[in-house]
A and B are shown apart, each in its own frame.
Chain A
């Protein structure tokens, strides 16, 4: 259900724009022109995709096994990466938002590094640590016989590495905005710290977690640089949609357009279906 605050906010905006003669909602031309240009800049390339799409052969191309294979791999790895991010990122966000410990600011700064780091660099860094000769990788190999690079698991690792900061930052923001006195109230009722987290904190920040998970999933779905560096480009194993698009552009541009359209559709559908439910509440 939409909370009443969002409802009134929307109504308020509507009545404001409907009023004539007010100062608000009458932007100067200096702002309107660049705004229109900006919107066109963002929307036109997407329209270009639609215009140049080979609609006549679309059905055949979509049914090609490579397309379905890449799409499936992308959806599965992005979803797995999101789960890993939730599992590790939500507790991390809680620690950053609630716990007091030395070096917390430094930790937060370090966590946001993958956000601004070129993904290729992230991929190289992952190779150095988790590669067969890497700091942790050689130990993983020796102890468990596990090798991550150039495997589907490697794709998940690369996507999670790049996408997790989105989740952490979103959830930390939600945790900071949540009323901690509700947690105190729960404690006075006899709730252990874990019960407080599970039954009070989590439900309170659920919209923030959901918004973060959507961002995280979208980022993982589009991941390219770290994936191709760390996991390579093996069809059926590590070749996700963005990789397939890039490869197809060299050999078969029309296939690239079809694949791009599929990615665009998936992203838009997911965002649209979740937007009303979760992301607009924050």
Chain B
């Protein structure tokens, strides 16, 4: 689908000097607060969607607000194709932003909300409304054009907010937790819609989320932020396979350990784990909870990676039961409810746990 562009424009408005061509975003964002410092660098090529992923309070939203010009940078820079953006006020940056709770103007209809951006760029009222109507059609809300925001459902409001941001013909699209305010069912539908719209958008997109699934589905590249710093970046597949912090490991549902590798072994604390791919030096070892097997008594045939653990707790996890183990290493194991009954697992119980070397994944730290 071809993006809709405004045709009119007030000459001389700094925002209109930005050509409607795809641009690469390069930024180093430094924001200093008492007891918090955000220092993040980012590069987003045209058409790429980068997700800032991190726990609450990590600084994701601050980073996004700094890109939008709503929070001042204390240091660093923001450039679009080499031209500085950080020296411009928010209203002069060629951006579009979708806020977590959408922030649709309550006194304007859906159509006028979407027409707001084009109007600000000097389009005549009728023309701005035509542009807005086209965008509402694209997000499938043509028949809700005259509805006020409070008459819209959460999913509809989210789509109006996206249309409003895109109708301003931004070169940089910023999305702050775009799906967080939706219920589970709507979320699924809106997520796939959003994915299509983001694919159509030819500018750079930065998305903030704390939901790993949103990030994996929507983004080409993940940037994981903890305590104001980037702790890991990579494609969703890379991050999911090779987590580098406990937070990321928890997000992607893996057991993660840091140790010292010597050829086919990694020593984690007192435990020596055999690994499939030989390695040397500081290393991470990751394996899925479903790869952990539990035994009441020491198993015969002795698989290599075997240790004795204490069951700390158990909880329902999808169709399985997740067993939390204490011992030389803290680990989670996923077993079937039938296995829980067969093994008569109870919290506090001593048990043997093992994981095959081929089920582990080791990589340099």
Q: Which residues of A contact B (CB under 8 A)?
A: 4, 179, 181-182, 184-193, 195-196, 199-200, 203-204, 206
Which residues of chain B are near A203, meaning CB under 8 Å?
Answer: 105, 107-108
Within 65-96 of B, Cβ neighbours of A (below 8 Å) are at 68-70, 89-93, 95-96
Interface positions, chain B 102-144, Cβ under 8 Å from A, are: 103, 105-108, 116-117, 120-121
How many angstroms from the CA of A109 to the CA of B89 in the assembled complex?
Answer: 33
- Contact A188 B105, CB 8 Å, known A4-B150, A181-B99: no
Q: Is the CB of A204 within 8 A of B116?
A: no
Chain B residues in 8 Å Cβ range of A192: 91, 120
Q: Could you tell me if B103 and A187 are in contact, using CB atoms closer than 8 angstroms?
A: no
Please, could you name 10 A-B residue pairs with CB atoms under 8 Å apart, sorted by A? Answer: A181-B103, A184-B70, A188-B68, A188-B97, A188-B165, A189-B116, A191-B116, A193-B91, A200-B105, A203-B105
Contact A184 B90 (CB under 8 A): yes
Interface contact A189-B117, CB-CB below 8 Å: yes
Contacts of B103 in A (CB 8 A): 179, 181-182, 184-185
Partner of A190, one of B15, B107, B174: B15
Evaluate contact between A190 and B121: CB separation under 8 angstroms: yes
Q: Write out the residue numbers on chain A whose beta carbons fall within 8 Å of the beta carbon of B68.
A: 188
* Bound-state Cα–Cα, A9 to B99, Å: 29
- The reply to whether B70 and A188 contact each other, CB–CB distance below 8 Å, is yes
Of the residues A182, A187, A206, contact of B105 by C-beta under 8 Å: A182
Distance of B216 from chain A, by nearest CB (Å): 27
Question: B164 interface residue, CB < 8 Å from A?
Answer: yes
Please, how many angstroms separate the alpha-carbon atoms of A127 and B171 in the complex?
60
Given the complex, which residues of B lie within 8 Å of A204, measured CB to CB? Answer: 106-107
Indicate whether B168 reaches chain A with its CB closer than 8 angstroms: yes
**Chain B residues with Cβ under 8 A from A187's Cβ?**
69-70, 89-91
Chain B 137-158 interface 0/1 with A at a Cβ cutoff of 8 Å (1 = within): 0000000000000100000000
Known contacts: A182-B103, A185-B103, A204-B106. The answer to whether A190 contacts B150 by CB under 8 A is no
Q: Which of B68, B91, B174 has the most CB of A within 10 A?
A: B91
Residue among B13, B116, B150 with most chain A CB within 10 A: B116
Query: Nearest CB to that of B169 among chain A residues?
Result: A190
CA distance A179 to B150 in the complex (A): 15
User: What residues of chain A lie closer than 8 Å to B165, measured between beta carbons?
Assistant: 188-189
Taking a contact as CB atoms under 8 Å apart, the answer to whether A188 and B95 are in contact is yes
Please report whether the interface of chain A is mostly helix, strand, loop or mixed according to DSSP. helix
Distance, CA A4 to CA B150, complexed state (A)? 10
Give chain B nearest CB distance to A100 CB in angstroms.
14
The complex places the Cα of A242 from the Cα of B107 at a distance, in Å, of: 40
Asked if residues A189 and B150 are in contact (CB atoms below 8 Å), the reply is: no
Residues of B with C-beta under 8 A to A4: 150
Contacts of A181 in B (CB 8 A): 99, 103
Tell me, in angstroms, the Cα distance from A188 to B89 when the chains sit together: 9
> Whole-angstrom distance between the alpha carbons of A187 and B89 in the complex?
9
Contact B70 A186 (CB under 8 A): no
B residues near A190, Cβ cutoff 8 Å: 13, 15, 91-92, 117, 120-121, 168
Instruction: Report A113 CB to chain B, min CB distance, Å.
Output: 34
For residue B214, give the distance in angstroms from its CB to the closest CB of chain A.
Answer: 21
| Residue on A nearest B174 in the bound complex, by CB | A188
Q: Indicate if the CB atoms of A189 and B96 lie closer than 8 Å.
A: yes
| Residues of chain A within 8 A of B164, CB atoms compared | 189
User: What is the CB-to-nearest-CB distance from A195 to chain B, in angstroms, rounded to a whole number?
Assistant: 6
Complex partner residue of B120 from A179, A182, A191, CB under 8 angstroms: A191
Contact A188 B96, beta carbon cutoff 8 Å: yes
Chain B, 310-352, contact with A by CB distance < 8 Å: what is the 0/1 string?
A: 0000000000000000000000000000000000000000000
C-alpha gap A260/B92 in the complex (Å)? 57
A186–B120 CA distance with the chains assembled, in angstroms: 9
Residues in B with CB closer than 8 Å to A200 are: 105
18 further A-B contacts with Cβ under 8 Å, apart from A182-B105, A186-B120, A187-B70, are A187-B89, A187-B91, A188-B68, A188-B95, A188-B174, A189-B91, A189-B120, A189-B164, A189-B168, A190-B91, A190-B92, A190-B121, A190-B168, A191-B91, A191-B120, A192-B120, A195-B120, A204-B106
* Bound-complex Cα distance A121 to B107 (A): 43
Q: How far is the CB of B207 from chain A (nearest CB, A)?
A: 15
* Known contacts A4-B150, A191-B116, A192-B120: A186-B105 contact under CB 8 Å: yes
Q: Report the bound CA distance from A189 to B96 in whole Å.
A: 6
Q: Give Cα A53–Cα B271 distance, bound, in whole angstroms.
A: 101
Docked complex Cα distance between A203 and B104 (Å): 13
Cα of A200 to Cα of B91 in the assembled complex, Å: 14
Per-position contact with A for B10-29: 1 when CB-CB < 8 Å, else 0?
A: 00010100000000000000
Closest to A188 in B: B97
Nearest-Cβ distance from residue B210 to partner chain A, whole angstroms: 19
In the complex, which residues of chain A have a beta carbon less than 8 angstroms from the beta carbon of B99? Answer: 181, 185
Query: Which residue of chain A lies nearest to B107 when distances are taken between CB atoms in the complex?
Result: A203
> Of A179, A199, A206, which one neighbours B116 at CB under 8 angstroms?
A199
B residues in contact with A206, CB < 8 Å: 107
How near does chain B come to A50, taking the closest CB pair, in angstroms? Answer: 41
Interface centre among A184, A189, A195 (most CB of B within 10 A): A189
